Homo-oligomer: A and B are copies of this chain.
């Protein structure tokens, strides 16, 4: 007796074998019942298996399944910065949508650093996740290799920085920039400043481009748009410093357009620390409009990304990718972007 070395598993969870034994059938049958396999199974058998499953509180072990099927129900979300409320809200939205579709979200924070992003991508490959959702990605070697790896990728908020061969979900940033320009023009503001972080990525670049284009199109004789900012990771501090430069100018602009919420937060702190009343003395406009703005940043007008819609949008893109039988079509097909509507919220 006592032939149980039982090395690894501490507590014996129910397994297919134990359920099969209890139901008096083979493990194959249990598997088929549990998975609703497309074969006919006697009603009595189904009932017996169901009962055994319930009795033993059986749940398929993900490891065995993953090993056999070569994939899991895990979908990874690589976010650049969880400290950013907009990104957290997007993550939450995605989580909700994924859960509703039987997936589990694996959320990571890349801190917008290529090496961390790569490390995570490798890890995701080893975990055999079903797909990866990049919420604000940076270019990295592994990202490029992923094209070949056959794991679907979706880019949220910022487009694929290497080549646009994977779908993008987010707002039309150029159009959003134009909307802000239109609003500025409608207000008759003459002197406009822009605060930006890095402009090498699609979101910021397109926002600025759209904004400037429309101003120029207008033909109105505006003062030249002054731009402040630097590339870096901490938008809050960039915004703060940029606003410092803005206020050091001989003449104060009517409006400062910040390319993200966090830039605006940083700018706000600096401006109000200097005694300025926002928006009385100077208007601030930003992009993103995270969920907290309406509560504690009523001084900030912003282009709203409807983060609560992102989850479903990602799911719809993803399912179309996962359904395509061969991933050849996935590569050949034009990436099917999903543009979600934005809205300029005027406050203050």
Contact = CB atoms under 8 A, between A and B. Distances in A.
Contact of A60 (B69, B82, B126, B296): B126
Report copies per complex: 2
B265 A62 contact: no
A296 to B, nearest CB: 5
Contact of A8 (B63, B70, B95): B70
A109 B125 contact: no
A106 interface: yes
* Most B Cβ at <10 Å: residue of A67, A96, A149: A67
Given A8-B68, A11-B150, A265 B296 contact: yes
Contact of A67 (B67, B107, B126, B297): B67
Contacts of A81: 92
* Most B Cβ at <10 Å: residue of A13, A72, A82, A291: A82
A83 B269 CA distance: 22
Contacts of A74: 106
Interface residues of A, number: 60
A69 B7 CA distance: 8
A280 interface: no
A56 interface: no
Contact of A272 (B107, B148, B298): B298
Nearest to A92: B82
Interface in A45-86: 59-64, 66-72, 74, 81-83, 85
Interface of A: 8-11, 13, 59-64, 66-72, 74, 81-83, 85, 88-89, 91-92, 95-96, 99, 104-109, 116, 122-123, 125-128, 148-150, 236, 265-266, 268-269, 272, 291-292, 294-298, 327
